[in-house]
Amino acid sequence: MHITGMPYVPGTVHGYLQQGTQSIRPDSIVIIRQSGITTLSARPAGLLVVDGAPFSHAMIALLGTGIPTVVISSRQAASLEAGLPAVLDGTLGTLSSGIVTEVVHQSVPASPVAGQPVLTADGVAVQLYASVSSVAAARQARNAGAGAIGLVRTEYLLPETGAAPDTAFYRKHFTEVCAAADPLAVTIRLLDLAADKLPDWAVSGDPATGGGLGLQGVRLYGVASVRPVLLAQLAALDGLDEQFKLRVLIPFLVRLEELQYWMDFIGGYLSRPLPTGAMVETPAAALDVSNWLAVSDFVAVGCNDLMQCLFAANRERADVRHYLDPCAPPLFRFFRQLAEAAAGDLHRVQLCGLLPQLPGVLPVLLGLGFRTFSVDATLIPWLAHTLQARTLAGMQSLASEVCTAKTSGEVTEITCCTRPPFLLPD
């Protein structure tokens, strides 16, 4: 038995194949559908996700667990037999026959120094920030060696009662997140609701979302049930910079006028200004990045939503997952254009989302000129380990080859990354 799928969460484990999520043992390598991720009753040794949509919120949540994970197709899963001993390598994306005497976990590379950049083999500084959604994740980010907290997903900070969060709730949780990460700087992303992440208090209100091309992020800030929560966040942030180094990030903007409006709006609710950034999540925003950098303090590129728009494929749908191809040459040519547009201000651009975390991709993005990335904390030691063995000249040459490639297959050969078979329809 030997299967090559898409490497997703790094690490190597030995265990026994298991179908479904009932009675999970520590030595189980669980074969699961994406819809079953939320039903995991215990922590398995590893996961094989069948027909998963890699850029979906459900899949991305797996990064924070640190469970070695490979994504495979239905055709590959059909050949697997429950109970067989196997070795799963989430770094290479492989599953092989193996003899299990005990559950063996691959050691994680050493963490870099928290608050400091990671240096490439020739001394180029790279910032590996962490994207977090809880106090525990912020603490984990500091321990994993994050340079800063590049993104706090505040839409996942929710009262247990299901009620709408108020100022007191946010003040408490923002303070706890910042304290857990201290002394790292923290970027608070304002409420970023969407069709696939609507809390109970918003569902019971009146927002009508329309998926990735509908109402989300700032487009919901005028809705009756959402507006008070946004104002509660701003009130909770006001003055918190006296204790911690803070920045604010505005989600899902498209036009320069929109950015200017919301920057003025936010400034009107704060006693003194906080560094404020804009999320670039559409091609229109990316093409205007030079103008955005002229009026904002920084820009965060949301690669997941940007790819969704660029390839016209809903990131949550498994049936169109092959269109969101992280090896597509036009994708990297687009990022090259974005880097060129940012020019001398590229140091104020951070890339967020799954793309920089996929094997073989980060060196290409560095070769294009990007130096700041916000990733899941569990992957920081792995990414740092990759960078420390690379030189800038080598990565620039790699990026040049990738951008001149014609097919995704060529890109996988250039980057030495195995192309998952399900990126083309079965």
Instruction: Please write the tens of the pLDDT for every residue from 212-222.
Output: 677 889 999 99
Looking at the 3D structure of the chain, how many domains does it have? Answer: 2
Distance separating alpha carbons of residues 115 and 184, to the nearest angstrom: 6
Instruction: Please write the tens of the pLDDT for every residue from 337-395.
Output: 999 999 999 999 999 999 999 989 999 999 999 999 999 999 999 999 999 999 999 99
Distance separating alpha carbons of residues 72 and 95, to the nearest angstrom: 10
Q: Please check whether residues 275 and 319 belong to one and the same domain.
A: yes
For 7-46, give the DSSP string.
EEE--EEEEEEEESSTT--TTEEEEEEGGGGGG--S--SE
Q: Please check whether residues 419 and 271 belong to one and the same domain.
A: yes
The answer to which of 13-27, 110-124, 255-269, 290-304 has the lowest mean pLDDT is: 13-27
Q: Please check whether residues 66 and 193 belong to one and the same domain.
A: no
Q: Please check whether residues 76 and 124 belong to one and the same domain.
A: no
Residue numbers of the domain that contains 249: 118-423
Instruction: Please write the tens of the pLDDT for every residue from 191-212.
Output: 999 877 888 888 654 545 556 6
Q: Please check whether residues 66 and 134 belong to one and the same domain.
A: no
The answer to which of 40-44, 131-135, 154-158 has the lowest mean pLDDT is: 40-44
Averaged confidence pLDDT in the chain: 91
Q: Please check whether residues 74 and 149 belong to one and the same domain.
A: no
Q: Please check whether residues 93 and 132 belong to one and the same domain.
A: no
Which residue in 266, 193, 276 sits closest to 236, CA to CA? 266
- Give this prediction's pTM: 0.91
Instruction: Please write the tens of the pLDDT for every residue from 312-323.
Output: 998 888 888 889
Give me the mean pLDDT over the 175-185 stretch: 98
**3-state SS class at 151:** strand
Q: Please check whether residues 216 and 294 belong to one and the same domain.
A: yes
Q: Please check whether residues 82 and 227 belong to one and the same domain.
A: no
Q: Please check whether residues 402 and 321 belong to one and the same domain.
A: yes
Q: Please check whether residues 26 and 131 belong to one and the same domain.
A: no
Label the pairing between strands 246-253 and 186-189: parallel
Q: What is the pLDDT of residue 374?
A: 98
φ, ψ dihedrals at 6, nearest 5°? -100, 120
Label the pairing between strands 372-376 and 349-352: parallel
